[in-house]
Structure 1
């Protein structure tokens, strides 16, 4: 295809994504109350475990309510349309890939998406406990006024951090497939990598409690062990295939 044809195809796919997003965004406006209850749930659950009047969710400015509608419904539309814009990106890139690259990309997507969702689910489960600890740090007699827009940013950041953290082992396996990282190297630096995982979990989790950090770090360590095993198996198979390379059908291999 000519460069102009690529641009026209890109424009068509962007328009499809934008149209789908606008339709879902308009529909989500009618379900704002349900979306609000869903997002407000962890905060309310955390607030119930604290003394009365210890915190309060607010919005600021005359346009605070409007911005809350736009942000919440926009975030919901972005999540709902995720399969659409991911497919459009894949469909735009796929013609330029080799058959082997297409196969590994499909495997990558099939594994990465469930891991991301599992990470988001764990972040959602631990969010109330983290909020309870953070809000409970306020001294007695002090009311914590929380801007709901800031709370929404805190929630989305927490869920994204958990989701992206679970993608790290997938990238380790892909780097091993590309020949950048060897399974033997992963085993050699395993203790330091585990320490680094716990340090990353302590920094990445917004709350300061060890419970949330452990919930993120332990599954990451398990996934790291799995990625290390897969990397070592791949290296072993690659070494065996290199030994057999260039042999005639009647010639015995060194094995």
Structure 2
């Protein structure tokens, strides 16, 4: 395919993906926006003293269009999730022809693992949100102060936490990718476990928006468990490929490799005859005249 044909194919696939997202956005606004909003409100609504006398959650709207824009935002997120099989397929159909067979197989495996890992991170973030809110509201509990949450800021808090936890759970795929492409062996990955655990706890302390230790510890422990699980898969992959059984596998980087110092006799080479004289080059014919209507490029 030429460059113009590639651009035309990209345009068509982007149009199909955008159309699928638009349909999912409409479905999210009409049918699924309310249930999703209710689900995101549950971590706060299940807490004591979070409801009004009539049973409604104690949320406020600071701007006249805040709730409307929030519904549009939730509808867009729902539309992206609903249309994910279609726009992911369009993306894959555009990239796959340029990949080798083994690269496509790896892409299938990593894509099949990415979605469950992200979902697991999102579920963990949902429970961490409930624990974090309970901790924060208990710390700030006072008879003189009434806590009322802004609905838009609360939903942004929950969705950002879900997104951060979901992306963090994709880290084991990076570890497996380093091993599968041969950049890091399983033994080397295992030797980095102290640094990895420190990075996990530091990362969890930074990205977790609540100051309670529950959320940070839950995320760091899950990331550590996923890291050791990925290292275990890397050991299986190294054994399957025969890594570690090379000639110099058991030799350290600062250790001299064993060399065979027994000299071998060098036999005399064959006699080389002298080269003959080189003939004179033939004369080069002058180029034909170029017509004036063509330039040097055509």
TM range (shorter): 0.7 to 0.9
- Following the alignment from structure 1 to structure 2, what is the Cα–Cα distance between the partners of residues 49 and 177? 52
- Considering only CA atoms, is the larger Rg found in Structure 1 or Structure 2? 2
- Provide, for residues 24-44 of structure 1, a one-character-per-residue CA deviation record: whole Å limited to 9, x for no partner: 212222223323212211221
Q: Which range moves more in the overlay, 230-239 or 186-195?
A: 230-239
Q: 1:105-124 residue pairs with structure 2 within 5 A?
A: 105-124=107-126
Paired position in structure 1 for 2:82: 80
Paired position in structure 1 for 2:27: 27
- TM-score scaled to structure 2, two decimals? 0.74
- Following the alignment from structure 1 to structure 2, what is the Cα–Cα distance between the partners of residues 64 and 19? 26
User: Is the CA contact 1:108–1:170 (under 8 Å) kept in the aligned structure 2?
Assistant: yes
Q: 1:54-133 residue pairs with structure 2 within 5 A?
A: 56-133=58-135
- Following the alignment from structure 1 to structure 2, what is the Cα–Cα distance between the partners of residues 66 and 88? 31
- Following the alignment from structure 2 to structure 1, what is the Cα–Cα distance between the partners of residues 3 and 108? 26
Paired position in structure 1 for 2:277: none
Deviation at 1:182? 2.5
- Following the alignment from structure 1 to structure 2, what is the Cα–Cα distance between the partners of residues 150 and 45? 18
Deviation at 1:240? 6.1
Paired position in structure 2 for 1:230: 233
Q: 1:1-255 residue pairs with structure 2 within 5 A?
A: 1-31=1-31, 32-46=33-47, 48=48, 56-138=58-140, 140=142, 141-236=144-239, 237-239=241-243
Name the count of aligned residue pairs.
241
Q: Which range moves more in the overlay, 22-31 or 103-112?
A: 22-31
Higher relative contact order (CA 8 A, sep 6+): 1
User: Is the CA contact 2:67–2:152 (under 8 Å) kept in the aligned structure 1?
Assistant: no
Deviation at 1:94? 0.5
Deviation at 1:180? 2.3
- Following the alignment from structure 2 to structure 1, what is the Cα–Cα distance between the partners of residues 230 and 182? 14
**Unpaired runs of at least 5, structure 1:** 244-255
- Provide, for residues 180-210 of structure 1, a one-character-per-residue CA deviation record: whole Å limited to 9, x for no partner: 2222222222122112212222222221222
**Unpaired runs of at least 5, structure 2:** 248-298
Shift in CA distance, 86/56, structure 1 to aligned 2, threshold 3 Å: same
Indicate the RMSD between aligned Cα atoms, in angstroms: 2.3
Deviation at 1:241? 7.6
Deviation at 1:49? 5.9
Deviation at 1:142? 2.1
Q: Which has the larger share of helix? A: 1
- Following the alignment from structure 2 to structure 1, what is the Cα–Cα distance between the partners of residues 243 and 25? 52
- TM-score scaled to structure 1, two decimals? 0.85
